[in-house]
Structure formats: C-alpha cells, structure tokens
C-alpha cells in the first residue's frame, strides 16, 4: 500500500496568523479547527503546524520551554485533541514542527543545567570553558548574529546556541537527552499525531573536540545576520552521529501506523543534496527531506531542473518535498516578481509548476490566494534578525502576516482585535471571499484535483527535456500513460514544435494547433500522450 505522504499536498499553517477566536490578536488552535474545511476543500492531504508548544515566544515558538504542552497563547491540550479529531474527520493528516536541536533558556532542563557543573542535568546542554584569553571555545557563528557561544556567569562557562542567545543547544551526545527527546515525541504520537516536520534536522550533534571551522573555500556570501557562509561548517552541524539518532526516531515512529518524518536540512547547494541523500537512505531514517533549494532568488529552468535532478542523483532512494514559499522566506510571488507578467498569471504558472514535480508538495498558507509579501514599517516588526539589523535585513514578518478571510471585515476576518502583525490593503484585497469562479483559489483547487486524478503526475518518474531557456519541460511517465509538463518562465511569448500525437490536458494557459504549442508569457501546458513526443523551438 502506497503511503499517504508520497504524493501528498501538505498545507503549512502558521498558527499565530491563521484565525483568532479569543480576541487577543493571535491565531489559536480553535481557529485552526474552525478553518480546516478551507484546507480540505482545497484538496490538500494534510497540514503542517508551525510550533504550538509552550514557549516564551522569543523566536515565535522555536524556543520551546515545555515539549509536552500547548502554549496558552494557542489553547490547551483539549483544543489540540479537538483539532486532530476534526482534521481526521475531514480526511486530513496533521504533522507538527518539532524543534529538537535546542530549547528555550526557560526550559526547566536548562534552568537546572546552568546552576552548577555537577547537577543531574549539567551535561544536558553544550557547555565549554573559555579559551585562556576568555574568548569563546570555537569560532562558530550564530545564525542570528554574533558568536554561537554565550558566557554564563553562574557556571563560569560558555553554552552553545546556533540561533538566539535564548535558544541553548541540547547535548545529543548525552544518551539521557536522546531518551528524553524520544519520550516527548512519543507523547504526541500517542495523541494521534501523524508525523513530524523536524526543524534544523542536521544540527543535533556538535563536534565533541570543539574544533573551529575552517574558512569557506568557495566565495562566501555574507549577510548582515548570517556569517555562516564564511566558514565551512563541518564541526558545528551535520555530524556523523546524526544518523544514529534519526534511526532511533524512525524506530519509534515505525511502532505506529503510517507516520511520516520530513527533515529541514539547513544547508544549500550540492551539500544539501548529499545530506538529504544520507538522511533518507534506506528505510530506517527520514521518510523525506527538503532544503531551501527552491526557496531562494533563483527562478530559471536550469536551477529548478538541477534541484530535481540533483536530488535524484544524490538521494536515489530518498523522497523529495518541494515548496516555493514558507514562513522563513519572502513569498514567492514577490521574490520572483521580475519574472511575472502580472501577479495572478504568475501565481497560476508557479502553482502548475509546483504541482507537476515528482514528490510531496508543500503549500504555505495564503499561497492559494496569490498573496504577496507584506511591506512593514520598522515599528511593526517582531522578528529578532530584522529588529537587530534593520534596514539591511527585512526579516520574516512580511510572509507571516495574518491569513485574509473576508475583504471588508476588520483585519480581513482574522481577528476583531489588533492583530500581532498588521493586515494591509494589498493582502486584504485577496481575501478568501473574493475568490470565485476563475480565481487563483479556484485554480489551486483545479490544479490539485488534476494532479490527484492523473496517475502520471502522482506516481510517474520525471525526465527533463532539453529545450532552451526560458522553457522548462519534463515528462512524467507510468505504465498507464505519459504527460509532458511545459512552462514558459518568461514574460515573452514562446512557441514550440510538437512532434508526436499529444493533446492538451487539464488546466493550461497555451494553445496547441497544427503541431505548434503557443505559450504566452508565464504560459504553461500539460500534454497527454501514449508514445514519446519531442519539443523543438
């Protein structure tokens, strides 16, 4: 039996920004439950919830202070159970964001760990003495600026934090830590959860010898918040011990029915492909993995083709998870706007393209409405990197603004109170209630339905065709048939000669007549055929 996640469309919900039911301006679990029908009607197979666990919210829930409870901001365990029950009633699976590499500094484990060097949890976090001159133990960088080490006067040692100072890293070399983490995961599986999205999955272990990283050999790309690119990060993450932990976590998941784990690999380029291959090899590690390969500025046929083909070469028995937007990057309609004829036409193109890929597909809330990045003033920001490095860094708030439900309602129907991030006019104008027949939302529904009803799009292997820029074309084939997916990634009209017996199928923005496929700017087509075809310019 084919697992549910292999050709699934998973809808990411950012809980703070989905639906507020308590009038505090922050989304909550009852709000998600109330709006799950929207996800089911879209045709998605499951939802991924960004963190909902108890947290001081220094990094919007990615700083967990209790792994086995719901943050009161979002509701209660009963609210969680009700949400799971409603999702399952609607035929939706639910996975949650598990932030296992680090905790909040307010977690009881860390509070105890920092009190002395000999308490029961003294070795649960990564502690190290200063160098003789008082400087940090290694040259490792934090993703949020500055060194990855913070001196703690109480212990007289530094602790490791790959992200905020308030997010100390757990010491996965301690078997007691692993046992405790596995118990927290078991807690949620016992409550009916269908799987995990594992945040920063290659950050669990560090080099026990505390060796400093060498300088990057390739030309570094330096950002205001992130000096990682100036180092070859071989000692602070992606350590070989990670594999054994993933095997333990997989063994736990395999005790339950049809559980899925998808890992976020914090790396880029060929290195990301190699890691994804290692982490998904065989049947005892991750079910699938993704990187930021398609979440960056590159929007060219060569780049997208290299992402898909590179994964297949580097992870031949792995399974990919593709998405164009999420809570950490600019929304793709804005990020790639220079390639767009207009926002709506481009939204249709990118939806069709994403749904054509082999693997699991991720949609970020609001993407189905064609939402663009929200432009925010400094005084409206909440994201730590943006607050620290503005204006060089815009931060992640612009993609996290609330979901828009009703165009003319206060805050577009998200909340009766002032929302935690503002709802602005360009986003409200694309609210769900403005989407009728022929809208972006209707197109997403049609495209997902077409993907589900077409065996080749669900199960077929991809073979890319050698056509010149700006065309991306690939064929998905099974024993039941073949479909060739053709996309014009430019704003200019393009045409291709089609040799062979083919016909237009499903949603399209193209004309096929007399052996010529005419694609307007941002046009696309799905060509059904039973024998091979060729495309030439």
Q: Which of 199, 264, 278, 367 is catalytic?
A: 199
For the chain, how long is the longest CA-to-CA vector?
80
- Reported as a single tens digit per residue, the pLDDT across 379-394 is 999 999 899 889 988 9
Query: Among 226-235, 264-273, 412-421, which range has the highest average pLDDT?
Result: 412-421
Q: Does 297 have pLDDT greater than 60?
A: yes
Give the pLDDT score at 480: 84
Distance CA 420, CA 14 (A): 13
Strand order in the sheet with 494-499: 511-513, 516-519, 494-499, 534-536
Across 424-443, average pLDDT: 98
Active site residue 267: yes
**Residue 468 pLDDT exceeds 80:** yes
Same-fold call for 9-101+175-220+230-451 versus 459-536: no
Average pLDDT over residues 27-34: 98
Task: Indicate which residue of 105, 267, 358, 367 is catalytic.
Answer: 267
Question: Residue 266 — very low, low, confident or very high, per pLDDT cuts 50/70/90?
Answer: confident
Q: Which pLDDT score, from 0 to 100, does residue 496 have?
A: 97
**Whole-number pLDDT of residue 226:** 65
The verdict on domain 102-171+221-229 having CATH code 3.90.400.10 is yes
188 Cα distance to chain centroid: 20
pLDDT digits (tens, 9 = 90+) for 73-132: 999 999 999 999 999 999 999 999 999 999 999 999 999 999 999 999 999 999 999 999
How many CB atoms sit inside 10 A of residue 285's CB? 21
Mean pLDDT of the chain, nearest integer: 95
Is the separation of the CB atoms in 509 and 522 below 8 Å? yes
Q: How many whole angstroms separate alpha carbon 124 and alpha carbon 113?
A: 7
Give mean pLDDT, residues 500-506: 96
pLDDT score for 292: 87
Question: For residues 61 and 391, what is the distance between their CA atoms, to the nearest angstrom?
Answer: 24
Contact 394, 329 (CB under 8 A): no
For residues 480 and 264, which has the higher predicted lDDT (pLDDT)? 264
Angle, helices 269-280/242-253, rounded to nearest 10 degrees:
50
What is the pTM assigned to this prediction?
0.96
Mean pLDDT of 481-490: 97
57-66 mean pLDDT: 97
Torsion of CA 277, 205, 267, 128, to 10 degrees: -160
Confidence of residue 220 (pLDDT cuts 50, 70, 90): low
Task: List, in order, residues 6 or more apart from 168 with CB less than 8 Å away.
Answer: 102, 103, 105, 110, 125, 126, 150, 159, 160, 161
Does the annotation count 179 as an active-site position? no
Q: Which of 13-22, 58-67, 212-221 has the lowest mean pLDDT?
A: 212-221
Half-sphere exposure (Cβ direction) of 329: Cα atoms closer than 13 Å: 20
> What CATH number labels 459-536?
2.60.40.1180
Rg (C-alpha) for the chain, rounded Å, is: 24
E strand intervals along 266-368 = 288-290, 321-323, 360-364
pLDDT for the residue numbered 156: 97
| Position 314 pLDDT exceeds 90 | no
Summarize the confidence of residues 519-526 as an average pLDDT: 98
Query: CB within 8 A of 145, min separation 6: which ones?
Result: 224, 225, 226, 385, 388, 389
Q: Is the dihedral of CA 365, 371, 377, 378 positive or negative?
A: positive
pLDDT of residue 222 exceeding 60: no
**Judging by beta carbons within 10 Å of its beta carbon (0-12, 13-18, 19+), is residue 514 exposed, middle or buried?**
exposed
Write down the domain spans for the chain.
9-101+175-220+230-451, 102-171+221-229, 459-536
> Residue 293 above 90 pLDDT?
no
pLDDT for position 428:
98
Q: Which two tokens stand for residue 311?
A: 């994964």
CATH assignment of 9-101+175-220+230-451, among 3.40.30.10, 3.20.20.80, 3.90.1170.20, 3.30.930.10: 3.20.20.80
| pLDDT of res. 225 | 60
Torsion of CA 161, 162, 166, 170, to 10 degrees: -60
pLDDT in tens, 177-204: 999 999 999 999 999 999 999 999 999 9
pLDDT at 11 over 90: yes
Average pLDDT over residues 261-276: 86
pLDDT at 223 (0 to 100):
56
């Amino acid at each position: 039996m084919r697992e549910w996640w292999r050709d699934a469309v998973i809808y990411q919900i950012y809980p703070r920004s989905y639906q507020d039911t308590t009038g505090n301006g922050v989304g909550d679990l009852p709000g998600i439950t109330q709006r799950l029908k929207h996800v089911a009607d879209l045709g998605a197979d499951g939802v991924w919830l960004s963190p909902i666990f108890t947290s001081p919210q220094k990094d919007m829930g990615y700083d967990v202070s209790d792994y086995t409870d719901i943050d009161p901001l979002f509701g209660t365990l009963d609210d969680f159970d009700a949400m799971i029950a409603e999702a399952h009633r609607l035929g939706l699976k639910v996975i949650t964001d598990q932030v296992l590499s680090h905790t909040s500094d307010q977690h009881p484990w860390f509070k105890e760990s920092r009190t002395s060097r000999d308490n029961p949890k003294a070795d649960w976090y990564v502690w190290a003495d200063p160098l003789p001159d008082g400087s940090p133990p290694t040259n490792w960088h934090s993703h949020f600026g500055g060194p990855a080490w913070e001196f703690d006067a109480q212990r007289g040692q530094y602790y490791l934090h790959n992200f905020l100072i308030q997010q100390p890293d757990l010491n996965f070399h301690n078997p007691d830590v692993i046992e405790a983490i596995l118990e927290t995961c078991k807690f949620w599986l016992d409550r009916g959860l269908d799987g995990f999205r594992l945040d920063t999955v290659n950050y669990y272990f560090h080099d026990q010898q505390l060796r400093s990283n060498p300088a990057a050999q390739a030309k570094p790309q330096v950002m205001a918040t992130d000096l990682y690119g100036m180092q070859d990060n071989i000692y602070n993450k992606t350590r070989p011990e990670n594999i054994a932990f993933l095997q333990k976590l997989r063994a736990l998941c395999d005790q339950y029915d049809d559980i899925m784990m998808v890992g976020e690999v914090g790396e880029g380029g060929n290195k990301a492909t190699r890691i994804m291959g290692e982490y998904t090899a065989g049947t005892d590690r991750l079910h699938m993995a993704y990187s930021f390969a398609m979440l960056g500025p590159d929007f060219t046929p060569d780049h997208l083709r290299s992402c898909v083909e590179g994964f297949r070469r580097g992870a031949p028995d792995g399974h990919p998870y593709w998405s164009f937007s999420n809570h950490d990057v600019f929304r793709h309609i804005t990020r790639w706007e220079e390639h767009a004829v207009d926002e709506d036409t481009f939204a249709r193109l990118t939806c069709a393209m994403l749904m054509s890929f082999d693997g699991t597909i991720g949609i970020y809330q609001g993407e189905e409405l064609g939402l663009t990045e929200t432009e925010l003033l400094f005084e409206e920001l909440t994201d730590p990197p943006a607050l620290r490095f503005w204006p060089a860094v815009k931060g992640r708030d612009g993609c996290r603004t609330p979901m828009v439900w009703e165009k003319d309602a206060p805050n577009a129907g998200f909340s009766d109170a002032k929302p935690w991030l503002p709802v602005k006019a360009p986003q409200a104008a694309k609210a769900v209630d403005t989407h009728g027949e022929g809208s972006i939302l209707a197109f997403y529904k049609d495209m997902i339905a077409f993907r589900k009803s077409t065996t080749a799009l669900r199960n077929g292997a991809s073979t890319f065709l050698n056509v010149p820029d700006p065309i991306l074309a690939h064929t998905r084939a099974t024993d039941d048939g073949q479909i060739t997916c053709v996309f014009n990634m430019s704003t200019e009209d393009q045409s291709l000669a089609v040799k062979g017996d083919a016909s237009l199928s499903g949603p399209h923005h193209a004309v096929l007549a007399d052996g010529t496929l005419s694609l307007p700017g941002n046009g696309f087509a799905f060509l059904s055929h039973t024998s091979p075809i060729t495309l030439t310019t």
